[in-house]
């Protein structure tokens, strides 16, 4: 079963949390090294390293497929998909309208 190991800063130390089992380290480097050793020992899992602000600094998977990055949001990012959906919706509306006529 896949396990998730989190490394984060709490109070004045770095914490490694794996299913509620907590280990405390004096610096980030030693915490990340210990977490990597633990994650590599598992058949599958993931390691999430958080910065001091809580933002994810590093994400590593072991024995799992990498999650795809979601598409970028922007003004023109999904125009082709939107046009495709409009055409499909229009085709369905025309189809339903012709069913009512007959």
Residues whose CB is less than 8 angstroms from the CB of residue 33 and which lie 6 or more positions away in sequence, other chains included: none
Residue 73: what pLDDT?
64
In 10-33, which positions are buried (b, 16+ CB within 10 angstroms) versus exposed (e)? eeeebbbbbeeeebebeebeebbe
- Cα 51 to its chain centre, rounded Å, is 16
* 63 contacts: CB under 8 Å, gap ≥ 6: 2, 42, 43, 44, 45
For residues 6 and 79, give the distance between their C-alpha atoms in angstroms, rounded to a whole number. Answer: 38
pLDDT at 29: 93
pTM of structure: 0.60
H helix or E strand, kind and range, residue 72: none
Over the stretch 35-72, which tens digit does the pLDDT of each residue have? 998 888 877 788 899 998 888 898 888 877 766 666 66
- Token readout for 2 is 């896949």
pLDDT at 75: 59
pLDDT at 86: 83
């Amino acid at each position: 079963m896949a396990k998730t190991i989190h490394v984060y800063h709490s109070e004045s130390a770095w914490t490694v949390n794996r299913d509620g089992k907590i280990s405390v380290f004096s610096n980030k480097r030693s915490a990340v090294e210990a977490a990597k050793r633990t994650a590599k020992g598992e058949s599958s899992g993931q390691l999430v390293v958080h910065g001091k602000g809580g933002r994810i600094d590093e994400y590593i998977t072991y024995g799992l497929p990498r999650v795809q990055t979601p598409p970028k949001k922007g003004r023109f990012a999904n125009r082709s998909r939107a046009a495709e959906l409009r055409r499909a919706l229009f085709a369905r509306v025309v189809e339903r309208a012709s069913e009512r006529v007959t």
